[in-house]
């Protein structure tokens, strides 16, 4: 697969002005505006620090939430938090391309760092525009002439086609930051160099994401086994003709996944030997965990896979040389129903195979279990990693690749 892109190692940044796109979108206290978690700021601080130490003038572009949300805030607290993490001042600029912002950028000295205002305060950031239209927006036309390079470190937004992610790569040499570089090398690695047996563990409430990954993996013959959990498993059980009773069937319909039952039927028809379904499930009954075989499910909500299924799945995981997991096995936040998710994660950590978790709630669960060092790679971008594994083109990655071709000399 051709995914050659430039990295920080390919250019001399001494005395150069760099527009650096990061994803420091973080949980925010709705009352105080304080940040509740600095995980993403710590993650991107490595790229920020390296560019600053290389003598670049670092101008950071970032977003926080989106219009209409309670956590759609200015980035002043983010600048303060970054300053504390880096041990160096990050100047907060309360605009994106005002005359004041332009003057601050022009007057920066080598190694200085500035964080511009939330790019989603700008109306042209959110609409879907073509790459050509994005490169002609006022933001790009105003800021690009002040910079020498565009560095994209925001892998978590790589599946978005928005101005601050795509627009600058058309008019400036575009470079992958360290987070972006690590994510792409790791995820393309599982696609290009996956050793057999290749096992996918797919679940969660966002069944469309997981089923799209499954379909691509099966059709490209890049999976030996798909272990289904969560709502994904329920959809496939219904597709197989298992009666999960009215409550659970209606839940699938209410979530808008009725069409995926037919998709599941087609996949089972062609790949039944590779798609592994639960043999028992855990039900919420009288506020407790009660397990039932799949052919005897009561009309009560399914909250997890059962113990026999966990045992079967763990055996497959331990034999795998390549593992990709997305989505928790059940409602792991509910006491008694964390069993499936935690057991499968612990087995992934014990496995000798190359393992990747595709961000989201499963990544959070793994981190809460202190398994970060035991999983080969935990992605920082749920949607981006899922789309990439599902074979979809990521707009930000395409922009980096196209820029590398244009600036190869």
Q: How many domains does the chain have?
A: 2
Q: Which domain holds residue 327?
A: 196-352
pLDDT value of residue 409? 58
- The CATH code of the domain that includes 273 is 3.40.50.1260
Residue 386 lies in a domain: no
On whether the CB atoms of residues 73 and 33 are closer than 8 A, the answer is yes
Structure tokens at 110: 């080598």
d(CA 70, CA 98): 25
Give the torsion sign (CA, 11, 118, 183, 158): negative
For residue 28, give the DSSP letter. Answer: B
pLDDT of residue 371: 95
**Domain-located, residue 188:** no
Q: Is 372 a domain residue?
A: no
pLDDT at 391: 83
CA max distance for the chain: 71
Same-domain pairing of 174 and 217:
no
Identify the pLDDT of residue 2. 58
The one-digit pLDDT tens for each residue of the chain (409 residues) are 457 899 999 999 999 999 999 999 998 887 787 899 899 999 999 999 999 999 999 999 999 999 988 899 999 999 999 999 999 999 999 999 999 999 999 999 999 999 999 999 998 887 778 888 899 999 999 999 999 999 999 999 999 999 999 999 999 999 999 999 999 998 888 778 789 999 999 999 989 989 999 999 999 898 999 999 999 999 999 999 999 999 999 999 999 999 999 999 999 999 999 999 999 999 999 999 999 999 999 999 999 999 999 999 999 999 999 999 999 999 999 999 999 999 999 999 999 999 999 888 899 899 889 999 999 999 988 889 988 988 889 999 999 999 999 887 5
pTM confidence score: 0.86
The pLDDT, as a whole number, for residue 126 is 77
Judge whether 253 lies within some domain: yes
Same domain, 294 and 157: no
DSSP state, 259? H
User: 21 and 189 in contact (C-beta within 8 Å)?
Assistant: no
Q: Are 197 and 176 in contact, with CB atoms under 8 Å apart?
A: no
């Amino acid at each position: 697969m051709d995914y050659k892109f430039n990295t920080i190692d390919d250019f001399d940044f001494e005395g150069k002005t760099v527009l650096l796109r990061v994803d420091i979108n973080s949980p925010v206290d709705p009352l105080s505006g304080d940040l509740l978690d600095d995980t993403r700021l710590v993650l991107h601080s490595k790229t920020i620090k390296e560019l600053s130490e290389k003598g670049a003038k670092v101008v950071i572009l970032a977003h926080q939430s989106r219009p209409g949300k309670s956590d759609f805030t200015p980035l002043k607290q983010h600048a303060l938090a970054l300053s504390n993490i880096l041990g160096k001042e990050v100047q907060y600029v309360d605009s994106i391309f005002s005359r004041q912002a332009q003057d601050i950028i022009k007057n920066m000295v080598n190694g200085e760092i500035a964080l511009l205002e939330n790019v989603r305060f700008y109306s042209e950031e959110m609409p879907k525009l073509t790459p050509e239209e994005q490169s002609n927006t006022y933001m790009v036309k105003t800021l690009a002439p002040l910079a020498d390079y565009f560095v994209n470190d925001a892998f978590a937004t790589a599946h978005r086609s928005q101005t601050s992610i795509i627009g600058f790569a058309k008019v400036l040499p575009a470079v992958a930051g360290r987070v972006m570089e690590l994510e792409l090398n790791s995820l393309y690695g599982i696609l290009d160099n996956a050793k057999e047996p290749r096992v996918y563990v797919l679940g969660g409430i966002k069944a469309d994401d997981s089923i799209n990954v499954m379909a691509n993996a099966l059709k490209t013959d890049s999976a030996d086994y798909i272990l289904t959990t969560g709502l994904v498993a329920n959809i496939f059980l219904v597709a197989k003709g298992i009666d999960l009773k009215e409550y659970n069937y209606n839940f699938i319909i209410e979530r808008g996944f009725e069409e995926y039952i037919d998709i599941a039927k087609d996949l089972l028809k062609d790949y039944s030997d590779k798609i592994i379904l639960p043999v028992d499930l855990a039900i919420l009954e009288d506020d407790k965990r009660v397990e039932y075989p799949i052919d005897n499910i009561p009309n009560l909500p399914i909250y997890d896979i059962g113990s026999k299924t966990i045992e079967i799945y763990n055996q497959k995981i331990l034999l795998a040389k390549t593992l990709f997991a997305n989505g928790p096995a059940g409602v792991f936040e509910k006491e008694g129903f964390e069993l499936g998710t935690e057991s499968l994660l612990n087995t992934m950590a014990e496995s000798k195979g190359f393992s990747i978790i595709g961000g989201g709630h499963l990544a959070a669960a793994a981190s809460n279990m202190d398994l970060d060092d035991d999983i080969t790679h935990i992605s920082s971008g749920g949607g981006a990693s899922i789309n990439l594994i599902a074979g979809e083109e990521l707009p930000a990655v395409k922009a980096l690749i196209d820029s590398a071709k244009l600036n190869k000399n």
